[in-house]
Amino acid sequence: MDASKKNIDSKVVSRIYGHGRGWVFTPNHFKDLGSRDAVASALKRHKQSGLIRQLARGVYDYPKIDPELGLLEPSIDDIAQALAGRDATRLQPSGAYAANLLGLSTQVPTKIVYLTDGRSRMVQIGKRQITLKQTTPRNMATAGRISGLVIQALRHLGSRHVDAATIEAVKKRLSAADRKRLLADIRHAPTWIADIIRKVAAEDEQSV
């Protein structure tokens, strides 16, 4: 291996170690270190040595290791963040996954969708299909906040499937501060979801 490759190789390893075990990444996370081919070669070498693991085409991790279970699988969110890119575009869980995170569904879907203000991408990792779906600025206005999760979960359920039990279930998951946040973001929700948000946050309306 020539000096240039050794230099890039050591910088790639240093960055991997710097993030620690559990880091999920793509070649884009190293694009400032050298050419695309040089980075790809370094990752290939480290995959072959067993230092890193390839999860799917262009997606790797520096896996956590449990003394009893061995190599652990990365979280869905860690994979999605890696797909979003080195510059960390915003992500918002949507669909059935948003409903699951909010406790309105007990089943983790095999097809998981995040809305993003970055480019659309999809990757299959084992039985999990993770999709980043480019969407409108309005849908991303509440990204990363409890408001975004509630809006996307309710959108997935649909107005006909939201009843008093659903509203009560959402209330139990939210703090008083969360309900105030919902009211502050109500302008970003469709009319029928805004009506539900008012019911969810009703007990706090006097203090907002």
pLDDT tens, residue by residue, 22-41: 999 999 999 999 999 999 99
Domain match, 82 and 183 both: yes
Domain co-membership, 41 together with 117: no
| Per-chain mean pLDDT for the chain | 91
Domain boundary residue among 71, 94, 110? 71
Q: Are residues 63 and 90 in the same domain?
A: no
93 vs 55: CA distance, rounded Å: 21
Are 81 and 58 contained in the same domain? no
- Domain of residue 140, residue span: 76-207
Contact of 125 with 55, CB cutoff 8 Å: yes
Residue 160: predicted pLDDT: 94
Of 46-55, 77-86, 101-110, highest mean pLDDT: 46-55
pTM listed for this prediction: 0.85
Side-chain-side CA neighbours of residue 88 (13 Å): 5
What was the pLDDT predicted at 61?
A: 97
| CA atoms 12, 16, 18, 24: torsion sign | positive
Q: Of 38, 71, 104, which residue is a domain's last? A: 71
pLDDT above 90: percentage of residues in the chain: 85
Same domain, 132 and 40: no
Confidence tier at 1 by pLDDT (50, 70, 90): low
Which pLDDT does position 11 carry in this prediction? 94
Q: Which amino acid is at 130?
A: I
CA neighbor of 98 nearest in space, from 167, 143, 152, 47:
152
φ and ψ at 144, to 5 degrees? 80, 0
Do 24 and 80 share a domain, yes or no?
no
* For residue 195, pLDDT beyond 60: yes
Counting other chains too, the contacts that 41-49 makes at CB distance below 8 Å and 24 or more residues apart are 41/5, 42/5, 42/8, 42/9, 42/12, 42/13, 43/12, 45/9, 46/12, 46/13, 46/16
Instruction: Say which residue, 10 or 5, is predicted with more confidence.
Output: 10
> Which residues lie closer than 8 Å to 91 by C-beta, 6 or more apart?
80, 81, 84, 114, 115, 116, 132, 143, 144
The per-residue pLDDT for range 102-125, each reduced to its tens digit, is 999 888 899 999 999 999 999 999
Q: How far apart are CA 102 and CA 171, in angstroms?
A: 10
Helix or strand holding residue 22 (H, E) = none
Residues in CB range of 20: below 8 A, 6 or more apart: 62
Count: domains in the chain: 2
Question: What pLDDT was estimated at residue 87?
Answer: 66
Sequence length of the chain is 208
Q: Does 14 have pLDDT greater than 80?
A: yes
pLDDT at 13 over 90: yes
| Boundary residue ending a domain (47, 71, 95) | 71
Mean pLDDT of 175-185: 94
Q: Do 55 and 95 fall into the same domain?
A: no
